[in-house]
Amino acid sequence: MFSSKNTFYFLLLALLISACNAGSNETQTETPAPSPMEGLSITKAPFGESPDGAVDIYTLTNNNGIEARVINYGALLVSLKTPDRSGKMGDIVLGFDSLAGYLGDHPYFGATIGRYSNRIAKGEFKLKDKTYTLAKNNGENHLHGGPGGFGRQLWTAEEMKTEDAIGVKLTYVSADMEEGYPGKMTVETTYLLNNKDELLLTYTATSDKTTVCNLTNHTYFNLRGEGDILDHQLMIKANNITPVDATLIPTGELMPVEGTPFDFRTATSIGARIDNPHEQIKIGGGYDHNYVINKASTGMELIAYIQENKTGRIVEVFSEEPGVQFYSGNFLNGTQTGKGVTYEYRSGLCLETQHFPDSPNQSQFPSTTLGAGERYNTRTMWRFSAR
């Protein structure tokens, strides 16, 4: 039989075990998982006056210090700061310090492009046996929605939050026959920043008449923040490009990239083959071509990435689109200055997620026709890191 002394010790041990378990449970209760919204913030401030009204700038910041700045003129991304491998923040996109630069002549820095991104041959297309005539603002062709395209319009802005992100939704109503396009179109561009260091761009549109629609963003990246982009490493998940004629309009064919300067299926320095005497390189003055993405599905997936070895910065590009226009800044010529930098030849690169150029005139390409009452919806996402 147990003595009273043994009974006392067993009771004491039981009390100690119970206290330890209670303490353990209490500790778990006091350390809940951090909120996905922790550290996310958005601020609004005046940014100047456009011919159509006041322009505001929205600053989105996450808990790692990544900062995206968007204005409601042109639904433009004017600044994007990310850390390098040592944690130093730097602006990785080309642009201006004030609204004046965006109101003047500029090469679409950070702009939302529409109704139709890229080129339409000879400034015309046909829908339902009717021919529509557009502005010829790129030689004999139509480019990026015309001189009064979406990147030149004042949008209505609204701050927004989701379960794990903060952002701004910008809305523009394009009148029937604006820039020659049929249908009254309501367009929304949304920028959302989260704590996974991702910036999500969503585009939606509806029209009351059948029209064409192909929206994108025209941000110029330079992950070092200065100099040219020739030492940036680039990967594009594409086996083919759509080769172009002398006016940069697709010929309608697909050209394999294998064995050519256009092969970026493995990360390669942009400058390694940019001056190759390949006929397509000569036409574009470098890279200015639509890549046909090797899509595994219609959903969003990794299609490309850029890496700059000096800073370690990386931008991964995810998209739902069948193509991406890789442009190596061949027409930058030192006439634009912003953020204390003169934008010289090839000082920025663009990866414009899109349907193919001139699709309204090329039935073999994926269609860009948007029927009356139908909903256009596409997403692109940039993920930032450094190593």
Please identify every residue annotated as catalytic. 218, 352
Beta-carbon neighbour count of residue 242 at 10 Å?
Answer: 23
Helix (H, G, I), strand (E, B) or coil at 123: helix
Q: Note whether 381 and 299 are within 8 A (CB).
A: no
Could you tell me if residue 53 is left (phi over 0), alpha (psi between -120 and 50 degrees) or otherwise beta? left
Q: Of 310, 326, 319, 332, nearest to 232 (Cα)?
A: 310
Q: Of 203, 229, 235, nearest to 324 (Cα)?
A: 235
295 burial type by CB count under 10 A (0-12 exposed, 13-18 middle, 19+ buried)? middle
- Roughly how many angstroms between the first and final C-alpha of the chain, as a whole number? 68
Q: Which residues pair with 158 in a beta bridge?
A: 169
Contacts of 167-171 spanning 24+ positions with Cβ under 8 A: 167/42, 167/60, 167/191, 167/192, 167/193, 167/200, 168/42, 168/58, 168/60, 168/70, 170/70, 170/72, 170/75, 170/112
User: What secondary structure letter does DSSP report for 214?
Assistant: B
Spatial distance between the Cα atoms of 82 and 175, rounded to a whole number of angstroms: 37
Spatial distance between the Cα atoms of 328 and 331, rounded to a whole number of angstroms: 9
Give how far Cα 130 sits from Cα of 62, 123, 149, 165, 210, Å: 49, 14, 22, 44, 11
Amino acid at 44: K
